[in-house]
Amino acid sequence: MKQSADVINNIVSVLQESLPTDKDFIALHEPSFQGNEWNYVKDCLDTGWVSSVGKYVDRFEEMLQEYTGVKRAVAVVNGTAALHICLKLVGVERNDEVLLPALTFIATANAISYCEAVPHFVDSCYETLGLDPIKLGDYLQDIAEVKDGACYNKQTGRRIKAVLPMHTFGHPVDLDTLVEVCDRFNLELIEDAAESLGSFYKGRHTGNWGRVSALSFNGNKITTTGGGGAILTNDDSLGQLAKHLTTTAKVPHKWEFVHDHIGYNYRMPNLNAALGCAQLEMLHQFVQEKRALASVYQKAFSPIDEVSFFIEPKFATSNYWLNVIRVSTEWSFLRDEILQTTNDLGLMTRPVWRLLCDLPIYTSAPKMELTVARDLEKTIINIPSSSYLGAAYAKA
């Protein structure tokens, strides 16, 4: 019978053989600056346009619109701010419930709390690692009712206003099925596409199914603005309102200070947008390199029965933002030892997030049975995924 040490050694061997040997430490995901970053940022410094006004913000938004195919993109300070405004744009109010996966980054739930709404946690599926729309539909059939054009939780009496799926590690959820569930129960769909820039569902970029969607450009994302995010929408009026709310809701005037909503100082500085423009110019290359790395990992891990490399859903072309291996349930007790061993060797790995419903701040929130999410929590390990790691493979 295979011993624990054998399983761990096999995983380490695959990583060491797949990754560069000339580095003492390989990060989980680090930014790559190979293009015009220095030139564009220097232009901001030379001209003095470093803050909330400047040509790069408009250019960055236009580039996002062209790449993703949405009608309107609004650049903001981070992905959490983007999510917050998305929720407000679709009318999420105090005491509303918003459905989201229990297995997601904390920002997804926090943005709901900013609206004084209630996170309602649902299960994930093995095919996408994201929200399971089939289970969600069955669950809502039991606990929800639609009356007067709105969906209500029969158990709490609260309105269920929206569904907020997250495309986990860049892999799109089953959007067609989720749209059908939203239509059936009169729910707004907001895509948390923070991790999925460069990912396509049935040939169309993520962010086009939700009435509004959110992107992130944190330092560890596939493209970065240092810190930043964006709101995407195909609704021109919502796009205009998003821009207005995120720029302190100031009514345009040469000198008067008139604000007609409670606005937010969420606008992205020109300096960050300049960095983002250069990064978007490289996005196609980054995706190619990351997909090439994923292909190498897939082949290299295939002989190891105790772990499996996660492959994009059949309906998707994913950016493979963070690569995933799953330890089999039988060997899941080794997860922490695998993490310890790889990190001690300078190979940065990490577990998936703790289920949000188990955090003290959200233990009282409503939730469905979370069988798959709990299994994924115990078995997922993220492995090094920086785009440069796949550069040589992409050229081969």
Mean pLDDT of the chain: 97
Report the C-alpha gap between 96 and 274 in whole angstroms: 38
User: Rounded mean pLDDT of 170-179?
Assistant: 98
User: Rounded mean pLDDT of 182-190?
Assistant: 98
157-168 pLDDT tens trace: 999 999 999 999
Catalytic residue chosen out of the listed positions 135, 221, 243, 290 = 221
CATH 3.40.640.10, the chain: domain bounds: 37-281
CATH 3.90.1150.10, the chain: domain bounds: 4-33+283-395
Please tell me the predicted confidence (pLDDT) of residue 79.
98
User: Rounded mean pLDDT of 38-50?
Assistant: 96
375-385 pLDDT tens trace: 999 999 999 99
Q: Helices 133-143 & 175-185, crossing angle to 10 degrees?
A: 10
Report the C-alpha gap between 391 and 51 in whole angstroms: 34
Mapped onto helix, strand or coil, the DSSP state of residue 206 is: coil
Domain 4-33+283-395 has CATH 3.40.1030.10: no
Inform me whether the pLDDT recorded for 318 exceeds 70.
Answer: yes
Inform me whether the pLDDT recorded for 1 exceeds 60.
Answer: no
Q: Is 221 marked active-site?
A: yes
Please tell me the predicted confidence (pLDDT) of residue 53.
83
How would CATH label the architecture of 37-281? 3-Layer(aba) Sandwich (3.40)
β pairing state of 159-163 and 97-101: parallel
- Please give, one letter per residue, the 3-state secondary structure of 50-103: CCCCCHHHHHHHHHHHHHHCCCEEEEECCHHHHHHHHHHHCCCCCCCEEEEECC
Percent of the chain that is helix, strand, coil (3-state, to 5): 40, 20, 40
Report the C-alpha gap between 259 and 317 in whole angstroms: 43
User: Rounded mean pLDDT of 217-234?
Assistant: 97
